[in-house]
């Protein structure tokens, strides 16, 4: 597979935020990690980036936004080093093709140019801060990870239900 096919394969895994650490997770954190590992197998360098965004910028239904325990959130995506140009470009495989429309733009990638980001960043974290977050998550116990997921579980469940509704309308 080439880099474009790898991107599309990861992008089109149905997006879902896990609300239990024992369940599959295909959110904006895991999908870039998956793509990063796949790109590495074909010699393409990449790095995980994290930005902050506001849920309200996604134009979600008001009833859903009311469930969020916080208005801001973090989002992960990749910066990919394009070998032909030796330049880093933003690549975001977050929203799957079945979610497109309404407030979920479908990212397309030609393998060289940046994609559209799934969210509107309010702040981009430095690489060191991103790495620290990943290290802390990797070292956290199952209980600590579940506790973190539980803080916004009702919203995440509502969000998952909403995107299933968006998919069903297609």
Q: How far apart are CA 165 and CA 146, in angstroms?
A: 26
Spans in the chain with pLDDT lower than 70: 101-102, 170
Query: Quick one: tokens of 71?
Result: 């208005």
Residue from 37, 34, 38, 33 nearest 48 by CA: 33
The predicted-structure confidence for 122-150, as pLDDT tens digits, reads as follows: 999 999 999 898 888 888 899 998 998 88
| Prediction pTM value | 0.92
Q: What letter does residue 126 receive in the DSSP assignment?
A: -
Structure confidence at residue 118 (pLDDT): 95
Q: 89 phi and psi, to 5 degrees?
A: -130, 150
Structure confidence at residue 10 (pLDDT): 98
Structure confidence at residue 7 (pLDDT): 98
In sequence order, the β-bridge partners of residue 26 are 16
Q: What letter does residue 81 receive in the DSSP assignment?
A: E
Residue showing tokens 């702040």: 123
Structure confidence at residue 100 (pLDDT): 76
Structure confidence at residue 102 (pLDDT): 66
Query: Quick one: tokens of 104?
Result: 């979920």
Structure confidence at residue 103 (pLDDT): 78
């Amino acid at each position: 597979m080439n880099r474009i096919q790898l991107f599309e394969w990861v992008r089109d895994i149905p997006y879902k935020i896990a609300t239990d650490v024992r369940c599959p997770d295909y959110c904006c954190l895991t999908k870039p990690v998956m793509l990063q590992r796949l790109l590495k197998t074909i010699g393409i360098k990449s790095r995980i980036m994290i930005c902050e965004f506001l849920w309200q910028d996604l134009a979600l239904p008001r009833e859903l936004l009311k469930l969020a325990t916080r208005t801001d959130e973090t989002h992960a995506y990749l910066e990919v080093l394009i070998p032909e140009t030796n330049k880093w470009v933003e690549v975001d495989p977050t929203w799957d093709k079945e979610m497109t429309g309404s407030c979920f733009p479908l990212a397309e990638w030609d393998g060289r140019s940046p994609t559209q980001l799934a969210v509107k960043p309010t702040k981009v974290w430095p690489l060191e801060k991103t790495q620290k977050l990943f290290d802390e998550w990797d070292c956290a116990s199952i209980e600590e990870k579940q506790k973190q997921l539980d803080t916004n579980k009702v919203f995440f469940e509502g969000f998952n239900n909403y995107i299933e509704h968006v998919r069903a309308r297609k």
